[in-house]
Amino acid sequence: MIVVVGLGNPGRKYAKTKHNVGFMVVDALVRKYNFSEFRNKYDYFIAEGRVENHDIVMIKPATYMNLSGNVVKKVINKTIINSLPDSLIVIHDDMDLPIGKIKIKKNGSSGGHKGVQSIIDSLGTNNFIRVKIGIGKDLFQDGSDYVLSPFTKEQQAVIKEKISQAADAIIVIINEGVDKAMTIYNRN
């Protein structure tokens, strides 16, 4: 079993904000591969399906970004997974990458991302795969205000394409391995 977690904040207020690209990628995967509809499990939403020979669980935490680790630990404890890092893929925004840049990592620090840090703290390891989507930054705007703001029209065109590419990257990770996905997607 592979667990794919899209990070974001629940609710309509945050649905189209930069901080929710993780949710957007998971939603794209669920649609593209005909997964079950998301079901509410109190503090997270879950959709299940298969890609090739792999059972996959898609998760959207409903605890807000900074408490994502609690949900991830709960799901990992309930789910029969193989071994980390290959069985946990976390998708999140990254202000240090230009808008739409995709970067895949096997492990490492949180890079200041509070959702990723929450997962590291809850699991007691940084040994999981991350798919980062660049959202850029605005030097004249506070970081927390920026990530909670919607994409501009120009950014929407770029990010829509990159969400689809990130969904494809996750399928490459699942079917061909993280090294192959890094070779393909970390260059563009």
Could you tell me the CATH number of the domain that includes residue 39?
3.40.50.1470
* C-alpha span between 107 and 84 (Å, rounded): 10
Which pLDDT score, from 0 to 100, does residue 187 have? 81
Q: pLDDT higher for 79 or 9?
A: 9
Strands 2-6 and 88-94: parallel
**pLDDT of 42 above 90:** no
* C-alpha span between 149 and 81 (Å, rounded): 35
Cβ atoms of 58 and 35 within 8 Å: the answer is yes
**pLDDT of 51 above 70:** yes
Maximum distance among all Cα pairs of the chain, rounded to whole angstroms = 48
* pTM for this entry: 0.95
Residue 16 is given by DSSP the state: T
Number of domains in the chain: 1
Which pLDDT score, from 0 to 100, does residue 23 have? 97
Cβ atoms of 156 and 135 within 8 Å: the answer is no
Cβ atoms of 45 and 39 within 8 Å: the answer is yes
Residues with catalytic roles: 19
* C-alpha span between 175 and 1 (Å, rounded): 13
For the residues 33-52, what does the mean pLDDT come to?
Answer: 92
User: What does the pLDDT look like over 62-85, one tens digit per residue?
Assistant: 998 999 999 999 999 888 676 777
SS3 track for 114-167: HHHHHHHHHHCCCCCEEEEEECCCCCCCCHHHHHCCECCHHHHHHHHHHHHHHH
Domain that holds residue 162: 2-185
Q: pLDDT higher for 82 or 155?
A: 155
User: What does the pLDDT look like over 82-140, one tens digit per residue?
Assistant: 677 779 999 999 999 999 999 999 988 999 999 999 999 999 999 999 999 999 998 88
Which pLDDT score, from 0 to 100, does residue 82 have? 64
